[in-house]
Amino acid sequence: MKLSHRRYFLLLSVLFSILWLALAIDPHYRSDWLLENALVGAFILALALSWRWFTFSRISASLIFLFLCLHEVGAHYTYSEVPYDDWTRSLFSTSLNEAMGWERNHFDRAIHFSYGLLLAYPIREVFLRVADVRGFWSYFLPLDLTMSTSMIFELVEWQAAEFFGGDLGMAYLGTQGDIWDAHKDMALASIGALIAMAVTVAINAVLQKDFAREWSDSLRVKRREPLGETAIAAMLKRKSG
């Protein structure tokens, strides 16, 4: 029997709490762990406070849960030191880095890609249900917001590294000597979001009967009169009248 939304979210919350507690025990770098979890705490608080007014679908909740779990793994080890190479050696008797020809730890790259891939769909649900966007804009705006928030996070990382400095700043920044690290992170988040929206478009094009009409209507000009100074003049006229 399908779980109710409340029970499903409770299950995800319990599973995440167990993982969080396990990974909170003796992290590699406690100060970095605290810094990495600051935004997570704020995000979870926002989800809890908005529960009565906005309940995500099971799909969106599952994607958010998966991303947070991956993030907690990175926070425990610090992103640049997640031992995925040791895990692949244990499981497959081979090094993933050697097989791919990589020289750096790429776990942080995977998480930035996952940010776009896993969170673009929940962001789209917010746009659909709050802003009531439709058609083309219901796919473009989630992509756009994912890209812009990825850029904002890189700015936050930069400022945090400047503020804390030293080993903590470098651990949080995690560039591993790559001067283009921020650019690559933003590009991967954008690619992940683009893939998520492309898959969503493909599914809706097959299943949604009015897909083509909705897409076309979303690109149609709704108001032919110009705005800008014309709209300002009209508002001033109404206010003075």
pLDDT tens string 95-122: 898 888 888 888 999 999 999 999 999 9
B/e letters for 196-215, b = 16+ CB within 10 Å, e = fewer, are: bbeebeeeeeeeeeeeeeeb
pTM: 0.89
Instruction: Give whichever of 25-34, 122-131, 151-160, 169-178 has the largest mean pLDDT.
Output: 122-131
pLDDT at 80 over 90: no
- What are the tokens at 135? 């058609």
The per-residue pLDDT for 193 is 97
All residues at 6 or more sequence positions from 84 whose CB lies less than 8 Å from its CB, including other chains: 96, 105, 107
What is the spatial distance between Cα 146 and Cα 204, in angstroms, rounded to a whole number? 20
| Residue of 121, 66, 106 whose CA lies nearest to 188 | 106
Q: Which residues contact 59 (CB under 8 A, 6 or more apart)?
A: 121
- Taking the C-alpha atoms of residue 16 and residue 22, their distance in angstroms, rounded to an integer, is 10
pLDDT at 168: 66
What one-character DSSP code corresponds to residue 121? H
> Helix count (H) and strand count (E) of the chain?
11, 0
Task: Please list, in sequence order, all residues whose beta carbon lies within 8 angstroms of the beta carbon of residue 8, skipping any fewer than 6 positions away.
Answer: 58, 61
